[in-house]
Amino acid sequence: MKAKKLNIELPPASAARPSEAAKKLVLGEPNLQAPSDTSMGIAWTVNVLANGWVEYADNPRLDNAKKVVCGGFGLTGFDDRILQVRLVDLRPNTRYWYRVAAQHIDYVDNYKRFPLDVARGAVHSFATLGAKVPSHFCVMNDTHAQWKSFSLVTEKISALKPSVTVWNGDASNLTEKPETGIGIFLAPPIPRPGYAADMPVLWNNGNHDFRGIWNRKLDYFVMPRLPSERSARDWALTRNWAVRVGDIAMIGLDTGEDKPDRHPQFAGLVNCEPYRVAQTTWLVDQFKRPEIANAPYIVAFCHIPLFDPRPDEHPGGLVDDGGGKYRTAYAAWEKSCADQWGPVFALNGVQLVIAAHQHRYRFDPATAERPWAQIVGGGPEMTPNAPDRFPTVIEGKVAVGELKITVHNIKTGSVQAEHAFKPRA
């Protein structure tokens, strides 16, 4: 049978509708996400339908720059809110310079697409992770879209210039609209919205980051880890990470929601209990990697604490009253994770867990039964009548033969506490 000839007429590339051409393309500040020793994620906002790309090189002039388009192969990225590029096959411990770019596309339908103006951002730089970068990290947590404290926290981190920052959960409260997620992760209403343009961020989920329709689509705002970083068995563990930052092995774990999966509030839409078990298997395997197992210092990060000195006041994990009812409205600490991950930490010499969730700074020293210490970060509260509640930046830096942890009190602008850890035996 003779094939029918399709009568398709393509428009000239220069033809544009005046109403669409009048819309100016505006690029948001880039945001460095999901860093590793050989890859870097970059996300930024646009205000009109656009295709985007990243130009990068190993020099600030961008000589011989490579161009990587959004979306990878096949169809490119094409969105009117967020564009994302993943740079891969990078060299460890290496600084690169880059800029984001986009082209406004007037889209009528699949056969009427008009390329319009191109915009390019400023040149920024980043360094990939690895065993030879400065052994220096910062942690922010429980920012909860409180912009005054968030601005002060990010300004402090920008001044400290760590190799990487851990955002240890509860960036959000409830995300029912995409605009909420964009404001939190990519375009915060603060004086320095490009705080992460030169500072890579390792993301950890908090319990509030599971709440709302658009937190179910978190990959739209925060890029997941590369599939190559995990086995086929662990395909669903897109938020776990284990990276080397100088002398420090850093491991990110997800404690999930703060109530049992059977809680009536969840209506059967939460499946965190098997998620924690799956992460335990993944965690064991990370210590088979020489760059993790042989690190002089090992620090784990998770949102909900794994220990509390007041278990009767703050029951954790899956504790109930024997009748299937939760004893408190939420878990202040996660006993089930402590039961599963704690022995793995002890066996492999993890020295410190950095947690969040409780909105009060606390240090729990290691004991014979629990051979890892724990630091809990503060919350976003800036009120003067709550002296025990204040935002923190937890800074870790290796110097003079030890890992020094400095807890910065952002409300008072002072150092709240310092802790030191010797290299592992």
Residue type at position 323: G
Question: Residue 339 corresponds to which tokens in the numbers above?
Answer: 């039961």
Whether residue 251 lies inside any domain: the answer is yes
Q: What is d(CA 182, CA 175) in angstroms, rounded to the nearest whole number?
A: 10
Whether residue 223 lies inside any domain: the answer is yes
Q: Report the pLDDT value the prediction gives residue 264, as an integer from 0 to 100.
A: 83
Side-chain-side CA neighbours of residue 288 (13 Å): 6
Q: Are residues 188 and 307 in the same domain?
A: yes
Q: What is d(CA 210, CA 257) in angstroms, rounded to the nearest whole number?
A: 7
Q: Are residues 375 and 268 in the same domain?
A: yes
What angle is formed at CA 264 by the lines to CA 258 and CA 266, rounded to 5 degrees?
A: 55
Q: What is the pLDDT of residues 184-195, one digit of tens each?
A: 999 999 999 999
Q: What is the pLDDT of residues 190-214, one digit of tens each?
A: 999 999 999 999 999 999 999 999 9
Q: Strand 248-252 relative to strand 241-245: parallel, antiparallel, unpaired?
A: antiparallel
Please, are residues 301 and 166 in contact by the beta-carbon 8 Å criterion?
yes
Task: Count up the domains in the chain and report the number.
Answer: 2
Closest CA to 407 of 382, 377, 379: 377
Q: Are residues 140 and 123 in the same domain?
A: no
Q: Report the pLDDT value the prediction gives residue 168, as an integer from 0 to 100.
A: 98
Q: Are residues 264 and 372 in the same domain?
A: yes
* Residue ranges of E strands in 121-227: 124-127, 136-140, 164-167, 201-203
Q: Which domain-ending residue is among 92, 127, 162?
A: 127
Instruction: Please state, rounded to an integer, the average pLDDT across all residues of the chain.
Output: 92
Q: Are residues 102 and 227 in the same domain?
A: no
User: Residue 279 burial (CB < 10 Å; 0-12/13-18/19+)?
Assistant: buried
> How many other CB atoms are there within 10 angstroms of residue 346's CB atom?
14
Whether residue 111 lies inside any domain: the answer is yes
Predicted confidence band of residue 310 (pLDDT cuts 50, 70, 90)? confident
CATH number, domain of 263, equals 3.60.21.10
Residues in the chain: 425
Q: Which domain-ending residue is among 88, 103, 127?
A: 127
Q: Report the pLDDT value the prediction gives residue 220, as an integer from 0 to 100.
A: 97
Q: Are residues 83 and 214 in the same domain?
A: no
Q: Are residues 314 and 189 in the same domain?
A: yes
Please, are residues 223 and 84 in contact by the beta-carbon 8 Å criterion?
yes
Q: Are residues 35 and 76 in the same domain?
A: yes
Q: Report the pLDDT value the prediction gives residue 321, as an integer from 0 to 100.
A: 41
Q: Are residues 292 and 395 in the same domain?
A: yes
What letters, b where the CB count within 10 A reaches 16 and e where it falls short, cover 406-417?
A: bbbbbbeeeebe
Question: Residue 393 corresponds to which tokens in the numbers above?
Answer: 């930046």
Whether the pLDDT of residue 33 is over 80: the answer is: yes
User: Residue 234 burial (CB < 10 Å; 0-12/13-18/19+)?
Assistant: middle
Predicted confidence band of residue 318 (pLDDT cuts 50, 70, 90)? very low
Question: Residue 365 corresponds to which tokens in the numbers above?
Answer: 């020293």
Q: Are residues 162 and 282 in the same domain?
A: yes
Q: What is d(CA 173, CA 210) in angstroms, rounded to the nearest whole number?
A: 9
Mean pLDDT of 394-413: 98
CATH number, domain of 111, equals 2.60.40.10
Question: Cβ neighbours of residue 245 under 8 Å, at least 6 residues apart?
Answer: 129, 130, 133, 135, 136, 137, 163, 164
Predicted confidence band of residue 2 (pLDDT cuts 50, 70, 90)? low
Mean pLDDT of 350-374: 97
Q: Are residues 360 and 402 in the same domain?
A: yes
Residue type at position 390: F
Closest CA to 225 of 207, 245, 211, 205: 205
Side-chain-side CA neighbours of residue 157 (13 Å): 33
Whether residue 13 lies inside any domain: the answer is no
Question: Residue 348 corresponds to which tokens in the numbers above?
Answer: 């492999």
Q: Report the pLDDT value the prediction gives residue 151, as an integer from 0 to 100.
A: 98
Whether residue 12 lies inside any domain: the answer is no
Query: What range does the domain containing 42 cover?
Result: 25-127
Q: Could you tell me which residues are beta bridge partners of residue 102?
A: 52, 119
Q: Which helix (H) or strand (E) holds 293?
A: helix 290-293
Q: Which helix (H) or strand (E) holds 341?
A: helix 335-348
Q: What is the pLDDT of residues 249-266, one digit of tens each?
A: 999 999 999 988 888 888
Q: Which domain-ending residue is among 127, 156, 174?
A: 127
> How many other CB atoms are there within 10 angstroms of residue 356's CB atom?
31
Whether residue 46 lies inside any domain: the answer is yes
Q: Are residues 121 and 160 in the same domain?
A: no
Q: What is the pLDDT of residues 329-356, one digit of tens each?
A: 578 899 889 999 999 999 999 999 999 9
Q: What is d(CA 391, CA 237) in angstroms, rounded to the nearest whole number?
A: 29
Whether residue 7 lies inside any domain: the answer is no
